[in-house]
Chains A and B, each alone.
Chain A
C-alpha cells in the first residue's frame, strides 16, 4: 500500500497547484505561451507585488475555441464571481465580432480596460525590393497575386485584417484577391518571409523585435498614431498616407454580473498596474507601447472596434 501512497502523493503534488478557492483567479483563455498567458501572469504578478491582492494570483489556462470556451465558462458559470479576471486582447473582440464564440456577444461580459498595446506592423525581409509601404501597396495594386502575406492568426483573424485595412485605405477594393497564409505565430510568419516563401509579414511589434535588432527584417510601417518609442526609425502608416491604426491591446474582462463597486475596483487596480514601474519594464521588454484605457472610455472604444471588424469581415466573406 506504501507504493500506492507514493503514486497518490505524486499525483497530489502535481495537482496541488489547483490552489485555494479564495485567491484571485486570472483565466488565460489559451495554452501557456501566448499573449493572454503573458497578460495574466504579468498582471497577476504585479498585482501581488504591489500589494493590491493578498495572495498570489492563480493563473488558469483554459484553452479552447480561440478563447470561446473561457468566454462561455465565464458567462454561464462564473457570472457573479468578483475574484475572477480574464485576459483579453484584440483577438477576443475580433472573434466576438465574427460570431466565432457560438452566438455569444461582447455585451455578455464587462471589459475592464487595456493597459498596453502591441502595435501592428508590416515587415519584409531585409533583401526585399519593397522599401516603403507605398512600394508594397503599388505592387499589389498592379498584380494582387504577386505578394503573399504571412501572419500568426488564422485567415480572417486580426493579422489578416491589418494589410487589408491598409489596402482599403489606399483605395484598393479587390481585397479577396490578396494572398494570406495563417501560420503558427508571428515568429513562424517571419521565418517564412525571411525564407522567401511569402513576401511580407503582418503581425505585432513584440513578434518582430528580435528580428529587427538582428537586421533580418525591415519594418515598412507601424500601425499606430505616433511612432513607437524605442523604434523611432519605423514610420507609421498614417505618415505614409494610409489612415490605419491597428493595435493588439492587452487587457482584461470580468463577469457581467458583478457589482459596480467590484467592477470599478478592478478598473482602479488595473490602472495602478499600468502605472507601476514593473509594468513599464515588462512593456519595454516585450515591445508593447503604452495604451491605457479604463472604464467607460474603454467600453465605447471596444464597441467601435467590434462594429468596424464586423464590416470588414463581411467584405472578405468571413461572416455573412
Chain B
C-alpha cells in the first residue's frame, strides 16, 4: 500500500521529540486563540508566523506548529460559542445556536464534551480523507466555474432565510445589508472604487473579521452595559464535566454525515469552514425535522456544526496543498508560510516534497489526539480562562477584540468601524433582525458578485449561462427549495425562538 508507505515517511518526520512538542504547544495556543472571541484561526496563525522564523524552524516543523494552531483554533472556537454565546471564531457561529441553549439549561459540560468529540471525529476523518483522496478530490475545483460558484453562494443565502430567524423577510433584509456592505471598495471588474467616499481605508472593502467582532463581541458589551450585568449572556456556570456516552453515541450518524459534508465544503475554494458548519447544521436540522428540537439545545445541534467545521478545516488543506488555491482565510495564511519556506504548493507537491506533505498529515493525526485530550478531559482549563466575572471578562474581551483587529491591519480606522458594527449589532438585535446573514453577506458578497460578473463577461451577458451545467442547475433547485420550503412548513411548525436574536 502506497498510503502506508507514505504515512511511514510522515510519522518518521512527525514523531521526533521537537515536532511533538511543537504540536502540543500549537494545540494549546490554538485552543486559547480559538476560544478568545475576536482572535480566529487566521489571525492566530498570522501572529505566530514571525515566531516560527525567529525560532529558525524548518519547513515541516513550522507547518506542524501552525497547522496545530489552526486545528486547535477550530476546536477552541466552540468553547466561547457555548459558554458566552459569542463565537470564538467565525466557523463556530453555528455552534451558538444549540450550544448556548444547552449551557443555559445547565448542560454546558455535556455540550463541551459532545462538541469536542464531534470536533475530533470531523477533524480525524477529514485528515484521513486528506491523505486518501487529496490528489483526486482536488480536481473538483476544475468543475466549478463562475456560474457554479454563483449558484453555490445563492444556495447559501437562500437556505439562510429558513435558519437565522422566524421571519424570512428579516433574514433577507439582513442578507442584503451584508451584500451591500460587501460592495464597498474597489470594483474588481473595472478598477474603480465604490461607496468609499474617497477614503483609502475603505478601498479594500470591509474586513469581515471587523464586522464579526463588532456585531458579536462589541454589541455584547453594549448589552452588558445596558443590563448592568444582570441577565447578560456571560456567566454560564460549568459544573462537573462527565462524558454523556449515550448522547455521543446517538449523534454518531450526525457526526459522520457532517464530517463528509464539511470536508467537501472545505475542499471548495472560497467556501471554507463557515459554509461547512452552516450546511451541516441545516442538513441535520432538516433530517431531524420538528421533533429534533434544533435551536433549543440538543446534542445533534452542537455535534453537526463542530464535526462540519473541523472537517472543513481539513478539507480546506486539500486545494491549498494540491492546487495552491486556499480554501479558506487560514489556509491562505498557511500558503504564505509555505511560499516563504520555498515550497511551492501545486499539483506536483505530493511528488516533489513527500516529507513535507506526509509529515504534515502525520502531525495532524497526532495533533488531533492531543486536541481531544485537551478539549475533553482538560476542557476546564480553557473554560477557566473564560470563566472570569463578566465585569472583568467583557472589558478583557473588548481589549482583545481591539488588539486582534488592530493587529490585522494596524489601522485605527478598523477599530472605529468595529465599534460602528457593534452599535449596528446592538440595534439589529433589539429589532430582532438576525446578524448572521449580515456577516455571510460580507463574507461571500465579494465572491458572489465577482462570479456573477465573470459569468456575464464569459457569456457576453447571456443569463442562461448561469444554468448551463448540471451542477449549477442542481444548486439552483436546492436554493429555490431551501428558500420556499420553510414558508410552507412554517404553517405547520412554529420554530423555537432562537436565543441569539
Interface residues of chain A, those whose CB is within 8 Å of chain B, are: 3-4, 6-8, 10-11, 14-15, 17, 31-34, 37-38, 41-42, 45, 56, 58-66, 68-69, 72, 98, 100-102, 145, 148, 154-157, 179-185, 187-188, 191-192, 194-198, 206, 209-211, 213-214, 216, 281-282, 285-287, 318
Question: B54 interface residue, CB < 8 Å from A?
Answer: yes
Q: A69-B200, A183-B450 are in contact. Are A318 and B191 (CB under 8 A)?
A: yes
Q: A33-B339, A64-B411, A181-B454 are in contact. Are A286 and B344 (CB under 8 A)?
A: yes
**Bound Cα distance from A118 to B251, whole angstroms:** 52
Nearest residue, chain B, Cβ from A155: B189
Nearest Cβ on chain B to A73's Cβ, whole angstroms: 9
Question: B345 interface residue, CB < 8 Å from A?
Answer: yes
Residues from chain A with Cβ under 8 Å of B227 in the complex = none
Q: Which of B6-14, B140-148, B165-173, B427-435 contacts A (4 or more CB under 8 A)?
A: B140-148
Residues from chain B with Cβ under 8 Å of A66 in the complex = 186, 203-204
Nearest Cβ on chain B to A304's Cβ, whole angstroms: 22
Residues from chain A with Cβ under 8 Å of B204 in the complex = 63-66, 69
Sampled A-B contacts (15; CB under 8 Å): A3-B388, A4-B388, A10-B385, A15-B407, A64-B204, A66-B186, A66-B203, A148-B458, A156-B191, A181-B457, A182-B189, A187-B323, A282-B342, A286-B344, A287-B344
Question: B384 interface residue, CB < 8 Å from A?
Answer: yes
Nearest residue, chain A, Cβ from B191: A156
Q: Which of B43-51, B289-297, B364-372 contacts A (4 or more CB under 8 A)?
A: B43-51
**Bound Cα distance from A24 to B208, whole angstroms:** 31
Question: B362 interface residue, CB < 8 Å from A?
Answer: no
- Is B325 within 8 A of A7, CB to CB? no
Q: A37-B340, A64-B200, A98-B191 are in contact. Are A3 and B460 (CB under 8 A)?
A: no
- Is B142 within 8 A of A195, CB to CB? yes
**Bound Cα distance from A7 to B394, whole angstroms:** 11
**Bound Cα distance from A37 to B334, whole angstroms:** 12
Residues from chain B with Cβ under 8 Å of A214 in the complex = 346-348
**Bound Cα distance from A271 to B145, whole angstroms:** 43
In the complex, besides A11-B36, A64-B200, A68-B203, 6 extra interface pairs with C-beta distance below 8 angstroms are A3-B384, A10-B36, A64-B201, A66-B204, A195-B143, A281-B342
Nearest Cβ on chain B to A116's Cβ, whole angstroms: 13
Nearest Cβ on chain A to B25's Cβ, whole angstroms: 12
Q: A11-B399, A197-B458 are in contact. Are A210 and B388 (CB under 8 A)?
A: no
- Is A154 within 8 A of B345, CB to CB? no
Contact of B388 among A7, A42, A56, A183 (CB under 8 A): A7
**Bound Cα distance from A137 to B36, whole angstroms:** 55
- Is B191 within 8 A of A6, CB to CB? no
Residues from chain B with Cβ under 8 Å of A61 in the complex = 46
**Bound Cα distance from A286 to B54, whole angstroms:** 22
Question: B256 interface residue, CB < 8 Å from A?
Answer: no
Question: B241 interface residue, CB < 8 Å from A?
Answer: no
Most buried by A among B32, B33, B325: B325
Residues from chain B with Cβ under 8 Å of A196 in the complex = 145
Question: B190 interface residue, CB < 8 Å from A?
Answer: yes
Nearest residue, chain B, Cβ from A284: B342
Q: A62-B409, A155-B191 are in contact. Are A11 and B342 (CB under 8 A)?
A: no
Q: A17-B47, A155-B190, A195-B141 are in contact. Are A210 and B457 (CB under 8 A)?
A: no
Nearest residue, chain B, Cβ from A191: B141
- Is B346 within 8 A of A209, CB to CB? yes
Question: B82 interface residue, CB < 8 Å from A?
Answer: no
Nearest Cβ on chain B to A30's Cβ, whole angstroms: 10
Interface residues of chain B, those whose CB is within 8 Å of chain A, are: 32-33, 36, 39, 44, 46-47, 49-51, 53-54, 141-146, 186, 188-191, 198, 200-201, 203-204, 269-270, 323-326, 332-333, 335-337, 339-340, 342-349, 384-385, 387-388, 392-393, 396, 399-400, 403, 407, 409-411, 450, 453-454, 457-458, 460
- Is A64 within 8 A of B203, CB to CB? yes
The 3 A-B pairs of least Cβ separation, nearest first, read A210-B346, A33-B336, A197-B145
Nearest Cβ on chain A to B449's Cβ, whole angstroms: 12
- Is A15 within 8 A of B454, CB to CB? no
Q: A15-B407, A32-B46, A281-B342 are in contact. Are A7 and B145 (CB under 8 A)?
A: no
Nearest Cβ on chain B to A198's Cβ, whole angstroms: 7
**Bound Cα distance from A285 to B450, whole angstroms:** 32
**Bound Cα distance from A187 to B321, whole angstroms:** 12
Nearest residue, chain B, Cβ from A62: B410
Residues from chain A with Cβ under 8 Å of B201 in the complex = 64-65, 69
**Bound Cα distance from A76 to B49, whole angstroms:** 28
Nearest residue, chain A, Cβ from B460: A145
Nearest Cβ on chain A to B446's Cβ, whole angstroms: 9
Contact of B344 among A37, A69, A209 (CB under 8 A): A209
Residues from chain A with Cβ under 8 Å of B325 in the complex = 185, 187-188, 191
Nearest residue, chain A, Cβ from B395: A4
**Bound Cα distance from A179 to B343, whole angstroms:** 33
Nearest Cβ on chain A to B144's Cβ, whole angstroms: 7
**Bound Cα distance from A191 to B319, whole angstroms:** 11
**Bound Cα distance from A63 to B336, whole angstroms:** 14
- Is B188 within 8 A of A155, CB to CB? yes
Contact of A198 among B347, B392, B458 (CB under 8 A): B458
**Bound Cα distance from A64 to B323, whole angstroms:** 26
**Bound Cα distance from A8 to B203, whole angstroms:** 33
Nearest Cβ on chain A to B194's Cβ, whole angstroms: 13
Contact of A210 among B269, B332, B348, B387 (CB under 8 A): B348
Residues from chain A with Cβ under 8 Å of B189 in the complex = 154-155, 181-182
Contact of B409 among A33, A63, A206 (CB under 8 A): A63
Most buried by A among B143, B191, B337, B348: B191
